[in-house]
Amino acid sequence: MTARGAEKPAGRRAGTAPQQAQPTSRREILDVAARCLRQRGYRATTLRDIAAMVGIKAGSVYYHFASKEEIVAAVMNDGVDNVFDAVTGALAALPAGATPRQRLEAAISAHLNALLAFSDYTSAGLKAFADAPEAVRQSAKPHRRRYEAVWMTLIEELAQAGATPPGVSAETLQLALLGMMNWSPEWYRPGRHSIERLAREFTSLFLRAS
Amino acid sequence: MTARGAEKPAGRRAGTAPQQAQPTSRREILDVAARCLRQRGYRATTLRDIAAMVGIKAGSVYYHFASKEEIVAAVMNDGVDNVFDAVTGALAALPAGATPRQRLEAAISAHLNALLAFSDYTSAGLKAFADAPEAVRQSAKPHRRRYEAVWMTLIEELAQAGATPPGVSAETLQLALLGMMNWSPEWYRPGRHSIERLAREFTSLFLRAS
DNA sequence: GTCTATATGAAGATAGAC
DNA sequence: GTCTATCTTCATATAGAC
């Protein structure tokens, strides 16, 4: 899995020079598309916009991709794989004897960071999914299922350790937790909220007093 | 505040008769627009679609409304006022000595019912808000603030009664709770989930063992 | 690889007849 | 109140020159 993220394309254009000479890469187009999709959603993101931001004309995009749907599907799927890597990586990096609280907080923190700070791809995928054509949504399904399984496994592990609140099913726990996090782009403001603090507080909600 | 909801327009067209004779009302157009906006979002909802579903031609819509934005703003604002009425009504209907759990569960239940079952307006407003033009979003602000204040008040009341989990600020509590609920249209399926059960389980997450 | 030019099809909105 | 007809704009996508 290669690098995917919110980083700007390599500094090909020196300073403010508006013209370019180097050829455009697929990744460069995807980076710009992810940023657009995140900000504006599926319908409001146009190939003209993307092309202009990359420094080429709209027609030239079709040298790299067969359709808008192909671009959106690539962004969405990279986005899900992105959080998947972030969350599984964070869990794997914990010491063997980590507490339920440490594991849940690490996973929540990784998810929030991908969504709110690191990856235009991840937030673009969330925002564009509902409006994307059926074919795009279908192609995203396996990626999403794989990611959801990570959370289901984690929650069941916590439940078996007796760490989750009583009277709430694992399924509801998962839906509530992901919903709480996935809605956060609607209200999160970088200067106003601290991701680490949010992760800590969100974690408290899903563990019985510990 | 007049009736607003997901009810189909009055049975003007007998049975399956495709044609109509009676004049179209503003409310009828808004009902159809709300349904469209809920299903397809702002950009994918066209005046042509709305007109066709109401039984008139696209141009005729402009007899009733000055623009698409005016329609969307009306739907969104009615939608917020809708949940506001539902939640404040549910709280007011409780007996004086209701417990924190009863009050929170009543509010959550009212919100979920508006969002998932009763009101196309409410869910349309949530779905279309992010993509709507700035002018529409601005007009929604006072309605949204008034509604959010209801939750802030309720949560602070619960916090003072010592019913909320320790170590989580009232602001985070509110953002987490509304996010959890507002994301539910993404996964809720009428046959598969029970709104009353969800309300009960969601409530448990936000109250310390009681 | 990128360009220009263009085909094709909507969309929102308006004018004026009925 | 609703229609038809149309203006204008902007979208995805294609063809072929450079």
Q: Is B167 on the interface with A (CB under 8 A)?
A: yes
Higher per-residue pLDDT: B10 or A55: A55
Question: In chain A, which ranges are continuous DSSP H helix?
Answer: 26-40, 47-54, 61-64, 68-92, 100-113, 120-129, 134-160, 170-182, 195-206
Q: What's the angle, vertex CA A182, arms to CA A177 and CA A187, rounded to 5?
A: 115
**Residue B169: partners with Cβ closer than 8 Å, 6 or more residues away:** A201
**Contact (Cβ atoms closer than 8 angstroms) between residue A123 and residue A71:** no
Q: Give me the mean pLDDT over the B29-45 stretch.
A: 98
Structure-token pair, residue B198: 């969800």
Which nucleotide is closest to B63, CA to C1'? D1
Q: Do A204 and B165 lie within an 8 Å CB cutoff?
A: yes
Average pLDDT of chain A, as a whole number = 92
Residue nearest to nucleotide C6 (CA to C1'): A59
pLDDT value of position B208? 84
pLDDT value of position B209? 67
CA atoms of A27 and A35, how far apart (whole Å): 12
CA atoms of A27 and A75, how far apart (whole Å): 10
Q: Does the nearest atom of strand D lie within 7 Å of A47's Cβ? A: yes
CA atoms of B88 and B86, how far apart (whole Å): 6
Q: Is the pLDDT of residue A35 over 50?
A: yes
Q: Is B209 on the interface with A (CB under 8 A)?
A: yes
pLDDT value of position A22? 84
**Contact (Cβ atoms closer than 8 angstroms) between residue A90 and residue A98:** no
pLDDT in tens, A131-172: 999 999 999 999 999 999 999 999 999 999 999 999 999 999
Chain A residue with minimum CA distance to B176: A180
Reported confidence tier of residue A208, pLDDT bands at 50, 70, 90: confident
Structure-token pair, residue B105: 């569960």
Which nucleotide is closest to B69, CA to C1'? C12
How would you label A164-188 residue by residue, b for 16+ Cβ within 10 Å and e otherwise? bbeebeeebbbbbbbbbbbbbbeeb
The three state secondary structure string of B57-70 is CHHHHHHHCCCHHH
Q: Do A205 and B168 lie within an 8 Å CB cutoff?
A: yes
Across the interface, of A41, A178, A179, the residue whose CB is closest to B131 is A41
In order of A26, B16, B60, B132, the CA distances from B52 in angstroms are: 41, 15, 11, 22
Is the Cα torsion angle B161, B84, A130, B202 positive or negative in sign?
Answer: positive
Query: Strand C: which bases are under 7 Å from protein Cβ?
Result: 1-6, 10-16
Q: Does the nearest atom of strand D lie within 7 Å of A135's Cβ? A: no
Q: Does the nearest atom of strand C lie within 7 Å of A52's Cβ? A: no
Reported confidence tier of residue B26, pLDDT bands at 50, 70, 90: very high
Q: Give me the mean pLDDT over the B159-176 stretch.
A: 96
pLDDT in tens, B98-118: 999 999 999 999 999 999 999
Q: Give me the mean pLDDT over the A50-56 stretch.
A: 98
Reported confidence tier of residue B63, pLDDT bands at 50, 70, 90: very high
Window from B4-13, B104-113, B118-127 with minimum mean pLDDT:
B4-13
**Contact (Cβ atoms closer than 8 angstroms) between residue A94 and residue B91:** no
Query: Strand D: which bases are under 7 Å from protein Cβ?
Result: 1-6, 10-16
